[in-house]
Structure 1
Amino acid sequence: MRSNRKYSFDEKINILNLIDNNHTVQSIARDLQINKNVIHQWKRLYDLNGSEGLRHQRKNRSYSQAFKERIVQEHIKEKLSFPKLATKYGLSSAGMVSNWFRDYTIGKKTYSNRNPRNRKMKDGRKTTQIERIEIAQWTIANDYAYHEAASHFEVSYQQVYTWVKKLNNGGVDALADRRGKSKATPLTELDIAKLKIKELEARTKHLEMEKDLSKKLKEIQRRVK
């Protein structure tokens, strides 16, 4: 199954339409190589908020510890499943509830506070100008997949968002580290060439994945006719 794949709004709608054409979620997941839980998540969001529920949310939403514990208690006392709780409270995924339950059972108030890798991703890390440019370009090439970029490059969501905004508004020079007293070292022609190659590689890979998905969707739709 694919991981860290970002699907457009139209792709999600087309995939959900297949369910209405007598395809099961399991068969769609198998044919399109998508985790079936992802499709179930889209279905829950669509049922809860209509088509708007399928649009990419670019802003992180935080939840209080009290809210998380209330959800966990409902799971324990009322035997509500993670998907049902996610739907009931308009959460983006059942996995979120599952993580909260896991944290509760092992006695952690906040999982990311105890896991060094998750803490680093939450707080960010030091990067070079070249890294910041590469990450911002990768994010844009993948249709502004902020969350996926943060996970892929092990930086924070806020860092990615800031770098993309700076790159769009001021170009590569805007991503130079200006905190020191000395002027930032300008990028060499070789640096710029390497970054351009990585940007094209990211765009090519993303387009190939979209093309592959489109072919599989058409193949499934032909079977319906």
Structure 2
Amino acid sequence: MSKYLLKTKLEAVDLYQRGFSTKEIQEKLHITSCKSIDGWINNYQQYGDRGLEKSFSKTRYSGQFKLEVLNWRKEHSASYQITANHFNIKQHSTIANWQRKLNEGGVDALFIKQGRPLMHKKKIKAKKHKYTSQELTELERLRLENRALHVENEYLKKLDALVQKRGHRTKKDL
């Protein structure tokens, strides 16, 4: 169950639209975090009333889609929220979780299915092949991983060039 009722979220958005600051709304409605209010406002602007409702069905994303989202975020130096809005993902924390999984477990971590697998299906899948028909082939996955690493490398080169341009660091410091 959501910590706040839909009525409270709608009231917070209404107050914001009438010119109240998030801090004022937080105090008036006894909300623990201004970040919650910011998220409600963003979801309302993106999806209307539907954006404030509790979603009971979990959307499943393929490993390929997750990698594309993370690559887009890196290429555009976008925040989690901007990336979520661009790809119509309701919660920006979903992308943050994907990034954490990528950082901790590599690209393979993005392709692991969530939930408890059925025992008999698990055995059959293990015998047939490593990935399901919905997942990428090994070659496609490696190409995407290579692209992600290339983008990261280019980003780091540009960052290094900017730092050197500002005079904070020279090649000798490296």
Q: How do 1:191-202 and structure 2 match up within 5 A? A: none
Q: Which residue of 1 aligns with 2:137?
A: none
CA deviation map 1:3-61 (0-9, x unaligned):
x7532222210011111232222443355233222222222221111112222211111
Whether 1:21 and 2:27 are equivalent positions in the alignment is no
Identity value in percent: 19
Measured in 1, the distance between the counterparts of 2:16 and 2:109 equals: 37
| Unpaired stretches in structure 1, ≥5 consecutive residues | 114-118, 125-225
CA contact (8 A) 1:72 1:97 kept: yes
Cα distance in 1, alignment partners of residues 5 and 56 from structure 2: 13
Q: Is the 8 A contact 1:41 1:92 kept in 2?
A: no
- Normalising by structure 1, what TM-score? 0.44
- Alpha-carbon shift at residue 87 of structure 1 (Å): 1.3
Cα distance change, pair 70–11 in 1 and its aligned pair in 2 (3 A): same
Secondary structure at 2:51's aligned position in 1?
helix
- Amino acid in the other structure paired with 2:62: S
Identify the residue that residue 89 of structure 2 maps to in structure 1.
Answer: 91
Contact (CA 8 Å) 2:13, 2:44: kept in 1 or not? no
Letter in 1 for 2:34: K
- TM-fit CA distance, 1:107: 3.0
Separation (CA, whole Å) in 2 of partners of 1:29 and 1:106: 35
Name structure 2 gaps, 5 residues minimum.
118-174
TM-score, structure 2 length as denominator?
Answer: 0.56
Once residues 42 and 89 of structure 2 are traced to their aligned partners in structure 1, the CA distance between those partners, rounded to angstroms, is: 9
User: Residue deviations 1:200-225, cap 9 Å, x none?
Assistant: xxxxxxxxxxxxxxxxxxxxxxxxxx
Q: Is it true that 1:110 corresponds to 2:109 in the alignment?
A: yes
Separation in 2, partners of 1:26, 1:90: 27
| Conservation of the 8 A alpha-carbon contact between 2:80 and 2:92 | yes
Q: Name the structure 2 match of 1:49.
A: 47
